[in-house]
Chain A
């Protein structure tokens, strides 16, 4: 039994399309709002940032922390979610 959340499973199950940034695992309302304020209003924009950072875990997590103030768990969840999505669809 994996330790991923329901949100994670839902996100990874299909192409993200136009899903909002709050559909990402680890990103709730507060963090989602902050990301939107920084211009990352859609999940694919965050994906873009993840890819630009060359899928580097540490860099992405740092960026996430700097941008929206995510804690370690939220960073971990978001990174894992995006990583798995990329493995499946990219």
Chain B
């Protein structure tokens, strides 16, 4: 229902339909518009007065609607049908006939379009502001880090490390590829390496508090670093670690030697571990062994590292391991292929060739027997064939058979029998 209703401005058909809607008796069809207006004013406006209280928002909307458009008086309900249609067309809405029943809908639509047009501009402005802010933030972070690198002060580097650490961790979590993640982490650790050196140099100058504070900060990072490194494949980790520590080994060793009565810091620990493992990088076994120990120990006791120093002092001769603790080495886990067979099988080596030989040896005896059987059968058949040929001389043949069956030697008996056969045959 239009809210600001000026019946005079409404079309006749509109007035008619409104009257019908409000169950007002229509005047005769040919009557003038004025009549309709009067009736409209009488009946409909009365009812609208009651509605007005509930329609407080809309006049406000109309006022708001007026602001964006400057020239035209933007009150969709005050427009004529034609103007309303034209306005809708401007906004890209192809409106149908604006009849009494459809007018309200089209007015509403026009209001929507006007409001949405104003809101879109606001949204664009807000988005522009948002984007600009985000860009500034990112640039600010990068600038921060770049500034911190050359300065190299402990606290600032710690902050930069934090940022990098977060990046590193994120990358570890998101992209668990050894090379990429490791390079990030290792860059971090490489950056950390100069820090303990400076810390060593400046520890005398600075208060112990600062060193402890920074060490605590770095400790958190260190605890995160082992986690990050453990995620990376061990082989790559070990391989890369062997490469990098060698470069800075000399510098690190100086730092380590100078350390005597300083506050304990994990950074030094890791540095020492890396430096000590670098010379021991020879075989894969040791690395895997040490890395596994390191994995276990790191995961289990980051907070217990103060004890490592004591252990070192107690056992100065023990070989260095990544964690600094030399526990009794566990028997290396070998695959089934490497496991010596002696535990499972008797001492005699059992190879497939020997098995074959055994089988052959088994067969040798039966083969021999088979040959003997063969010859006996041949002889018997021969005798039978001779008997068939010559039935008269059966007895000597039988005797020869008896002789053959008694004697085990085949060939001489055969020869004798053959001779007798031939002799008998000639006879």
CB within 8 Å of B: which residues of A?
38-39, 49, 52-54, 56, 59, 62-63, 66
The reply to whether A63 and B102 contact each other, CB–CB distance below 8 Å, is: yes
The reply to whether B104 and A52 contact each other, CB–CB distance below 8 Å, is: no
6 CB contacts below 8 A, A to B, read A39-B20, A39-B21, A52-B99, A54-B94, A56-B96, A66-B104
The reply to whether B20 and A52 contact each other, CB–CB distance below 8 Å, is: no
With contacts A39-B20, A39-B21 taken as known, whether A63 is within 8 angstroms of B96 at the C-beta atoms is: no
In the complex, residue of chain A having the shortest beta-carbon distance to the beta carbon of B101: A49
Q: How many angstroms between the C-alpha atoms of A62 and B99 in the bound complex? A: 15
A39 surroundings in chain B (CB, below 8 A): 17, 20-21
With contacts A59-B109, A62-B108, A62-B109 taken as known, whether A53 is within 8 angstroms of B20 at the C-beta atoms is: no
Total inter-chain residue pairs, C-beta < 8 Å: 32
A59 surroundings in chain B (CB, below 8 A): 102, 105-106, 109
What mask results when residues 8 to 26 of chain B are scored 1 for a CB within 8 Å of chain A, else 0? 0000000001001100000
The reply to whether B96 and A38 contact each other, CB–CB distance below 8 Å, is: no
Q: How many angstroms between the C-alpha atoms of A25 and B95 in the bound complex? A: 26
Q: How many angstroms between the C-alpha atoms of A66 and B104 in the bound complex? A: 8
The reply to whether A52 and B108 contact each other, CB–CB distance below 8 Å, is: no
Which 4 pairs from chain A and chain B are nearest by CB?
A54-B96, A63-B105, A59-B105, A62-B105
Q: Which of B50-99 contact A (CB under 8 A)?
A: 94-97, 99
B13 nearest CB across to chain A (Å)? 12
A56 surroundings in chain B (CB, below 8 A): 96
In the complex, residue of chain B having the shortest beta-carbon distance to the beta carbon of A51: B96
B101 surroundings in chain A (CB, below 8 A): 49, 52, 63
A42 nearest CB across to chain B (Å)? 14
Q: How many angstroms between the C-alpha atoms of A53 and B93 in the bound complex? A: 12
Query: Is the contact region of chain A dominated by helix, strand, or loop, or is it mixed?
Result: helix
CB within 8 Å of A: which residues of B?
17, 20-21, 94-97, 99, 101-102, 104-106, 108-109
B20 surroundings in chain A (CB, below 8 A): 39
B102 surroundings in chain A (CB, below 8 A): 49, 52-53, 59, 63
A53 surroundings in chain B (CB, below 8 A): 96, 102, 105
The reply to whether A63 and B97 contact each other, CB–CB distance below 8 Å, is: no
In the complex, residue of chain A having the shortest beta-carbon distance to the beta carbon of B98: A52
Q: How many angstroms between the C-alpha atoms of A28 and B3 in the bound complex? A: 29
The reply to whether B109 and A52 contact each other, CB–CB distance below 8 Å, is: no
A54 surroundings in chain B (CB, below 8 A): 94-96
The reply to whether A52 and B97 contact each other, CB–CB distance below 8 Å, is: yes
Q: How many angstroms between the C-alpha atoms of A56 and B95 in the bound complex? A: 9
In the complex, residue of chain B having the shortest beta-carbon distance to the beta carbon of A40: B101
Q: How many angstroms between the C-alpha atoms of A62 and B21 in the bound complex? A: 18
In the complex, residue of chain A having the shortest beta-carbon distance to the beta carbon of B20: A39
B97 surroundings in chain A (CB, below 8 A): 52
A63 surroundings in chain B (CB, below 8 A): 101-102, 104-105
With contacts A59-B105, A62-B109 taken as known, whether A38 is within 8 angstroms of B99 at the C-beta atoms is: no
Q: How many angstroms between the C-alpha atoms of A38 and B101 in the bound complex? A: 9
B73 nearest CB across to chain A (Å)? 23
**A49-B101, A49-B102 known, 4 other contacts, Cβ within 8 Å:** A52-B102, A53-B105, A59-B109, A62-B109
A54 nearest CB across to chain B (Å)? 4
B113 nearest CB across to chain A (Å)? 12
B106 surroundings in chain A (CB, below 8 A): 59
B108 surroundings in chain A (CB, below 8 A): 62, 66
In the complex, residue of chain A having the shortest beta-carbon distance to the beta carbon of B105: A63
In the complex, residue of chain B having the shortest beta-carbon distance to the beta carbon of A58: B109
The reply to whether A52 and B21 contact each other, CB–CB distance below 8 Å, is: no
B81 nearest CB across to chain A (Å)? 13
B109 surroundings in chain A (CB, below 8 A): 59, 62
Among B95, B96, B99, the one with the most A-chain Cβ atoms within 10 Å of its Cβ is B96
A59 nearest CB across to chain B (Å)? 5
A48 nearest CB across to chain B (Å)? 8
In the complex, residue of chain A having the shortest beta-carbon distance to the beta carbon of B104: A66
B96 surroundings in chain A (CB, below 8 A): 52-54, 56
Q: How many angstroms between the C-alpha atoms of A38 and B95 in the bound complex? A: 22
B21 surroundings in chain A (CB, below 8 A): 38-39
B17 surroundings in chain A (CB, below 8 A): 39
